[in-house]
Amino acid sequence: MKSKIVKALGTSAVNVPLQVMNINRRELQPHDVEMEILFCGICHSDLHQIKNDFGGTMWPIVPGHEIVGKVTRVGVHVKNFKIGERAAIGCIVDSCGKCEYCEDDLEQFCDEGTTYSFNSADKYLGGATYGGFSESYVCNEKYMLHVPKSLDLASTAPLLCAGITVYSPLKHWQAGPGKKVGILGIGGLGHLAIKIAKAMGAEVIVFTTSSSKIEDAKRLGADVAVLSSDAEQMAKYARKLHFIIDTVSAKHDVNTYLNLLRHDGSVVLVGLPPEPLEVGAFNVIMGRRSFAGSNIGGIAETQEMLDFCASHNITADIELVSVQQVNEAFDRLEKGDVKYRFVIDMAGLKK
């Protein structure tokens, strides 16, 4: 298949800094859209992949799955996108399209395997897919998204992963009026979970290990912020919450939070702790509680999330960085030094 060379930011091995490299993008197929990338978010999973924390990283790797920009070319059969239009690509760029999950708009659970924006097998060119730390992306229109005009483009980027990661479980477990929703952790995921849960009409209680984040949780919209190390504060919420979204990606005691649930309540994990978490049997059988998990969302639900965020004026709190600052941003991300999401201005890659 024909391809063209574009500039990207990538790395060839663990602990090798990201640098400018050339990659191939496929030439347009009839249903493809080419998008100039204007901004791309930096997600913690990008860091995991370039460090090969999960294994299976294919080198060289170009990260990035929170991609926003404008349409520059369209294939002859494209119906839903026009040149010059604002557009986005999230985590998913292909799936089988015919299994029960794909037919139910749950492409993230595709039986034959979801193709992700980067570090997945490339069905067209071979090798691995390359992500959004690049000049442009080519994608079938079925997996592309429209960015509502009211949303700031740069601070919309993190919605493509962090936003849908929290929106999907909040919707599925029916966060809304009359529900007490707990948010565990205030970071890239947690700060958006606060905003979205509040916009859904829920009463939002945030739990944090950091006293410095108490006031910021309230600024973001939380009704209450609880220091989780304070046993007296925690005791006030025993058997009170309908649902808790757990954004923590480190080893932690989920049993503490299971005991804050009402009957039939759920703690839903969206973080990725590197070690297994222990769940005490009595903490789930007493009250018919659940410990569950959730993983991003399908394309239709991601578009729904973008439209919801536009109607409630929700975007991420970001720090915009240049192409030249990317390695510094990853170093800071590893230390937790960001409020609350880095986004790269890709303009510097074109110079």
Residue 351 has pLDDT above 80, yes or no: no
pLDDT in tens, 84-106: 999 999 999 999 999 999 999 99
Are 148 and 126 contained in the same domain? Answer: yes
The reply to whether 299 falls in a domain is: no
Are 186 and 235 contained in the same domain? Answer: yes
**pTM for this structure?**
0.96
pLDDT in tens, 94-151: 999 999 999 999 999 999 999 999 999 999 999 999 999 999 999 999 999 999 999 9
The reply to whether 323 falls in a domain is: yes
pLDDT in tens, 186-218: 999 999 999 999 999 999 999 999 898 999 999
The reply to whether 226 falls in a domain is: yes
- In 10 A of CB 52, how many CB atoms? 15
Q: What does the CA dihedral 228, 230, 232, 233 come to, rounded to 10 degrees?
A: -40
CA distances from 146 to 71, 82, 124, 303 (A): 10, 11, 24, 7
Are 53 and 81 contained in the same domain? Answer: yes
Are 56 and 132 contained in the same domain? Answer: yes
CATH number for position 245: 3.40.50.720
Average pLDDT rounded to a whole number, residues 155-172: 98
Are 130 and 37 contained in the same domain? Answer: yes
Are 136 and 249 contained in the same domain? Answer: no
pLDDT confidence of residue 54: 85
User: Which residue range forms the structural domain that includes residue 74?
Assistant: 3-160+317-350
The reply to whether 310 falls in a domain is: no
Are 148 and 167 contained in the same domain? Answer: no
